[in-house]
Structure 1
Amino acid sequence: MPLDFDPIAEAHRQWQMRWPEHADQMAAVTSVMRVQQLLLGEIDRTLKPFGLTFASFEALRLLAFTREGELPMGKIGERLMVHPASVTNTVDKLERAGMVRRRSAPEDRRRVLASITPDGRDLVEKATAALNAADFALPGVDRETAVALTALLRRIRERGNDFDAAAHDPWA
């Protein structure tokens, strides 16, 4: 049930009385954090029929995007911007479900490769179609607004050293 008031607006009002020079930034951050919770909840509801979490979907989608359908475990973590332990946990679950296989890299047996299976490829295509049909939990947000939001968030990510400032910017 929706609340009959906006708790972030109320927090902003309280902040405005005490720390007015920081009230807008607090409201912006709190809004982003709340929207992240809402989006993740909706994404999880969309992926649940496929037995996937967003983390497992991202790992499968990443593997499906590669030429050979496989990547070293370390590269998966780097590309998804997650801790190696999270990659191991996600790949463990996907491997148990038959969506991914692990093997040692032929050129260096210390490196472990994760490979998407045909079942994993089929599942990620179906899950991708469902997420696309749900507009990635942003129904009613037009393309122009999505691009503007992405560009704004990219500036914040860049200033947070999330990636090199010289990195390609398709929204510029």
Structure 2
Amino acid sequence: MSARPEAFDPIAEARRQWLDHGWSDAAPGMTLVTSVNRAQQLLEARVESVLRPFALSFARFEVLRLLAFTREGRMPMQSAVRRLQVHPTSVTSTVDRLVRAGLVTREPHPTDGRATVLAITDAGRELVERATTALNRDAFAETGLEEAELTELVRIIALLRKRSGDFEDPRPAAEPL
């Protein structure tokens, strides 16, 4: 992140260069990808700065928050992988760090000897509650966008995700007899 804002928009300049080089069919997509990547960098920097005092990365926070949302504070590792939408190796690495910190434990699955259940500890629950309060206050409540803008941006990103195969609309429920 720059100490002070640029005098011009580097992404707009990149778009101009794309157009000047005859890549007009790809310029909108390049602009989208570059803009989303930059926005992600800005959002991640803000979130990471809020989580730093808690010695948490956003990945570790997400695992703790996911477990804290469950009724019993536990879930199978494979369920966590699916819900977090990241590679199993990444979740394993994240969980390893949480286990070393005493925030999560691994337990044998009650019916599948090959599976592992993740469980949040009391220390993990206390930490994630404090971290969530800080994130809500210092990162999530004030994004720099108005509520209507946020809603529209999330809608558009969800459309992109859906068209990319990230999720399907839920099937309509059958009418009661």
TM-score of the aligned structures, taking structure 2 as reference length: 0.89
Mapped pair 1:13 → 2:55 = no
Residue 162 of structure 2 corresponds to 158
User: Residues 96-132 of structure 1, C-alpha deviation per residue, up to 9 Å, x if partnerless?
Assistant: 1110011101222221001001110110011001110
Aligned with residue 101 of structure 1, among 101, 105, 121 = 105
The CA distance in 2 between the partners of 1:167 and 1:125, in whole Å, is 34
Unaligned runs of 5+ in 2: 173-177
Larger Rg belongs to = 2
Corresponding letter in the other structure for 2:148: E
Same amino acid, percent of matched pairs: 49
Task: Please identify which structure carries the higher helix content.
Answer: 1
Structure 2 distance, partners of 1:97, 1:120, is 9
> What residue is the counterpart of 1:49 in the other structure?
53
1:16 Cα deviation (Å)? 1.5
Q: How many residues align?
A: 168
Residue 45 of structure 1: how far off its partner (Å): 0.7
Q: What's the C-alpha RMSD, in Å, of the aligned pairs? A: 1.6
Extract structure 1 runs of 4+ deviating beyond 6 A: none
Q: Please list, as runs of the form range in 1=range in 2, the aligned pairs for 1:1-172 lying within 5 A after superposition.
A: 1=3, 2-17=5-20, 18-136=22-140, 138-166=142-170
Q: Distance in 1 between the 2:141 and 2:30 partners?
A: 24
**Residue ranges of structure 1 left out of the alignment (5+ in a row):** none
